[in-house]
Structure 1
Amino acid sequence: MKKSLILLLVTVCTAASFAQKFDKEKLDRYLQTLEKNDKFMGSVAISENGKIIYSNSLGYSDVETKTKPNETTKYRIGSISKSFTSALILKAMEENKLSLDTKISKYFPNIKNADQITISNLLNHRSGIHNFTSDDEYIKWSTQKKSEKDLMDIIEKGGSDFEPNSKADYSNSNYVLLSFILEKIYKKSYSEILTEKIIKPLGLKNTFYGGKINLKNNEANSYHFENGWIKERETDMSIPLGAGAIVSTPSDLLRFADALFGGKIISENSLKLMETLKENYGYGLFQMPFGDKKAFGHTGGIDGFSSNYGYFPAEKVSFAFTSNGKNFKNNDIAVAILSAAFKQPYETPTFKLIDLKTEDLDQYLGIYSSKDTPLKITITKNDKILTAQATGQSGFPLDATANNMFKFDQAGIVLEFKPSEKKMILNQGGKSYNFTQE
């Protein structure tokens, strides 16, 4: 459900073959290092030619009871749900129940520009319909049950951000509306349609439309890291629908991907429609480059859950991971998984930290501003933990890695302080921003 687009990027990728021995032990060590240093909890799987060749589960599905996850532990997959919803819409098109060119005024006459917006525009985020999960108010009601009328009122009130089909911008509202369209044409709930059209035919035993998390069903709670794993709140699953309400496992996601790209869910022509990109958006798919190879897939995030899956058509290789707690960049994890899969070099990270006294942190405290960005960053401390908070954003803890150097792995942020000059340098994504203490 979270509004994000993560692409997998590496600068060098030479030819490799799965005929070589897959180094399971090295990938195990990489993931176990993340687990040991409280960087990742979740499950991972890789398949080749429709056969799962690697799976692993780490951390805890429930921290309070120290319950370990396994291959059938189920996670909320967030926006990966959009790939399922897109496939369902195209399947309905194949059954002559709808047309991609149909204007949504047929279903939702009260939405702004409804007579200009097509079902196709919803699928590739070109509708202009405002994304309700971007609103500040969303977090206040996201744990409350909402009816179709409630959600329609919210979407209608949100209005339009741009003229339909003039550009693309990610909006969960689009896929909530697509879910309602499916329910209207089949006269069944989204959950029933999903089960009937995809889950049962593919035998996805650990995939379903989510409800309240049930630990007895081997479902995972989700967490964020703040000097320890802190349990996250639960979005009420009446809200995300086909935009983000599906629960699954990496193994089931691989079975779904292999079936989708293998022509077992929709036709080859429909699949080509899903893969056709306009301003980086397909129908429920993104393209994910890995060196000279290209995958189609999607990322997901809801509450403390995050997920990623991709399928490489040329190599017939797919990967997926689901996480219920991360304190490290998902993109780096994905790159390591794919490097292992394609026999590329990758390093197991080290997490050597230095131990500072609480008084050592006093020299960094204050508000920092920059000519490079309107954001201000406030540095505070809680005992021996330094915390940074940018304007309008949540605070995040910093790990001390060297004298005057701190990092936040989850966002790939490194902060370098120069106390004598009252300056701070923020490094992220290959860019540097200079800040001065006010």
Structure 2
Amino acid sequence: MKYITIAVLVIMSHAITAQTFNTQKLDSFFSLLEQKNKAMGSLSIHKKGNEIYNRSIGFADVEHKIKTDKNTKYRIGSITKTFTATLIMQLIEEKKLTLETPLSDFFPNVPKSNKITIEHLLRHRSGLFNITNDDDFRKWMLIPNTRKEMLSRIEKKEMVFKPDTDAKYSNTNYLLLGYIVEEIEKKSYAEILKSRIIIPCKLKNTRYGSKINTKENEANSYVMHSDWVLQPETDMSVPGGAGAIVSTPKDMAVFYHSLFTGLLVSDESLSKMKTLVDRYGIGLIQFPYDGKENYGHSGGIDGFQSVAAYIPEDELIITYSSNGLVLGLTEILMGVVQIYFGAPYAFPEFKPPLQLKTAQLDPYLGTYKADQFPFEIMMTKEDTQLIVNAKDGPTFPVESHEKDKFTSDRAGVKIHFLPEQDKMILQLGGKTIELIRE
């Protein structure tokens, strides 16, 4: 999730005046990704509310060779949060709730619930522990969980910070918001989503998720080893209002267009959603784009990764959902944006990595820090694989194609080591950062 968000931040810095849209080049780019087994998924580009491009590559089901198409449905992870925030704002407009309503009105056993408001939950300012960081998460994420069980886990966790003193992304916030919507409406989240968003927006391929059914054109998710390897399915009782929606890139674009053109919430509510407090809007984040307004969200669950980005000034929406990535989301979206806007773009080369011996990795090991970088990085190894361990961030392997240089296409990271100087030069999110080894 953290480097997905960074990916979105990167691509929006490439704003230039759009030239003729080169669909042939974009087709060639995605054909290359498919031929080289570097990605599977679907892309949709909308201009002024109309789809002007779509492309799908790879398989929804690798074992049975079921190809993806524009109607293939993907788990969209945390993009669900924009849907949940919209539902909350609708209830506020109907005076069934306020931004100042305390969490204790619904779940008094949650720590500091009398100090946590609806707005704190919406803006990730509650201080509640992110339940998906639970040590046993990977054990219980695969089985059905009741609301009582989920609440019990939340109630036992200590606060990360005092409410409204900081902002830190936490799925717990939106899980609770989903429960609150159900408490107020006395219906399931799935029913509320259908009546309040799916039907008004005429979303044909969006629903609250359940067990994946490829016969209904739902994609499985995969990671690449020597071939695509099927990933376990999170039971959708776990992410709830934080990440349980299934959709298509086209439907996501229609939803965002509906949200920003007044179909779902008032101008006043939308303005509040777009207002940032410590980087977070209400169910939205904003991306740098040469001073232009632009909003959206990203999502990751199991082997799925998705992004939705809306640029009001250009009336442009780019949505992409993947059920398998080798080339990182950053690199793919960079390619899409640069090709769309007519910027120079050279297709990536996919060369085999160097075969290093474990002893050759030793000069790179250690902990690296930089004052301007938000977290320290520990470089470790597993046999002949160099591993990046970012404190409070992702852990992922990197590979080398040139002496002292390593990359991760999936994470969108490039690293140049200077072992004699105890330095590493990190390229991430369009930035170059020098870190010093302790």
Correspondence 1:68-83 to 2 at 5 A: 68-83=67-82
2:225 equivalent to 1:193: no
- Please give the residue correspondences for 1:405-416 in structure 2 after superposition, counting only pairs within 5 Å: 405-414=405-414
Distance (Å, rounded) in 1 between the aligned partners of 2:15 and 2:416 = 35
Task: Mark the CA change 1:338 to 1:374 in structure 2 (over 3 Å): closer, same or farther.
Answer: closer
Is it true that 1:286 corresponds to 2:289 in the alignment?
no
Picking from 377, 389, 397, the partner of 2:380 is 377
> Secondary structure in 2 aligned to 1:410?
coil
**CA 1:361 to 1:37, structure 2 compared with 1: closer, same or farther past 3 Å?**
farther
- In the TM superposition, 1:74-153 aligns within 5 A as 74-153=73-152
How far off is 1:387 after superposition?
5.1
Q: Is the 8 A contact 1:415 1:424 kept in 2?
A: no
Displacement of 1:283 after TM fit? 0.5
Judge conservation of contact 1:43–1:322 (CA < 8 Å) in 2: yes
The answer as to whether partners of 1:413 and 1:426 remain within 8 angstroms in 2 is no
Gaps of 5+ in 1: none
Q: Which runs of 5+ in 2 are unaligned?
A: 370-375
Structure 2 CA distance for partners of 1:2 and 1:230, relative to 1, 3 Å: farther
Equivalents in 2 of 1:58, 1:377: separation in Å?
34
Which of the residues 427, 431, 434 maps onto 2:433? 431
Change (3 A) 1:343 1:426: closer
Distance in 1, Cα, partners of 2:148 & 2:353: 54
Aligned to 2:351: 352
| Paired amino acid for 1:31 | F
Aligned equivalent of 2:365: 368
Using the TM superposition, give the Cα deviation of residue 434 of structure 1 relative to its aligned residue in structure 2, in angstroms.
Answer: 6.1
Cα 1:350–1:80 shift into 2, 3 Å? same
Paired with 2:279 and 2:160, the residues of 1 have a C-alpha distance of 19
Q: Which whole-Å CA distance do the structure 2 matches of 1:117 and 1:280 have between them?
A: 19
Q: 1:34-433 to 2 correspondence within 5 Å? A: 34-353=33-352, 356=355, 361-366=357-362, 368-370=365-367, 372=369, 373=376, 375-381=378-384, 386=385, 388=387, 390=389, 396=396, 398-403=398-403, 405-414=405-414, 425=424, 427-429=426-428, 430-433=432-435
Deviations 1:292-346 (A, max 9, x none): 4331000000011010001111111111000111122212322322233333333
The code of the aligned residue for 2:402 comes to: A
CA contact (8 A) 2:11 2:333 kept: no
Moved more, 150-159 or 70-79: 150-159
1:170-223 deviations in Å (ceiling 9; x for gaps): 110011111111101100000000001000111111000000111101111111
Amino acid at match of 1:343: G
Distance 1:10-1:194 versus aligned 2 partners, 3 A rule: closer
Give the alignment's TM-score, normalised by structure 2. 0.89
TM-fit CA distance, 1:242: 0.9
Cα offset for 1:226? 2.2
Pick closer, same or farther for the CA change 1:254–1:431 going to 2, 3 Å.
Answer: same
**Length, aligned pairs only:** 426
Counterpart residue type for residue 152 of structure 1: L
**Per-residue deviation, residues 337-393 of structure 1 (Å, max 9, x unmatched):** 22333333333211223664xxx5354255822454572411423xxxx45364899
Question: Which amino acid is the alignment partner of residue 113 of structure 2?
Answer: A
Whole-Å separation in 2 of the counterparts to 1:242 and 1:183: 10
Instruction: Tell me, yes or no, if the aligned pair for 1:2 and 1:302 is still in contact at 8 Å.
Output: no
* 1:411 alignment partner, SS class: coil
Change (3 A) 1:217 1:148: same
1:379–1:389 Cα contact (<8 Å) kept: no
Question: Structure 1 residues 2 and 210 mapped into 2: Cα distance closer, same or farther (>3 Å)?
Answer: farther
Conserved? CA contact 2:380–2:386, under 8 Å: no
Question: Partner residue of 1:16?
Answer: 17
Residues 408 and 85 of structure 1, relative CA distance in 2, 3 Å threshold: same
Moved more, 300-309 or 28-37: 28-37
| Deviation per residue, 1:80-136 (Å, 9 max, x gap) | 000000000111111221111111111011111111111111111111111111222
Paired residues of 1:227 and 1:397 also in contact (CA < 8 A)? no
Query: How far is 1:406 from its partner?
Result: 3.9
Please, what is the CA RMSD of the aligned residues? 2.7
Aligned-pair distance for 1:74? 0.5
Identity value in percent: 41
* Amino acid of the structure 2 residue aligned with 1:16: T
Q: Deviations over 1:36-95 (max 9, x none)?
A: 232211100100000000100011111222221000000000000000000001111112
* Cα distance change of structure 1 residues 195 and 354 upon mapping to structure 2, 3 Å threshold: closer
Distance 2:169 2:13 in 1: 30
Change (3 A) 1:8 1:211: same
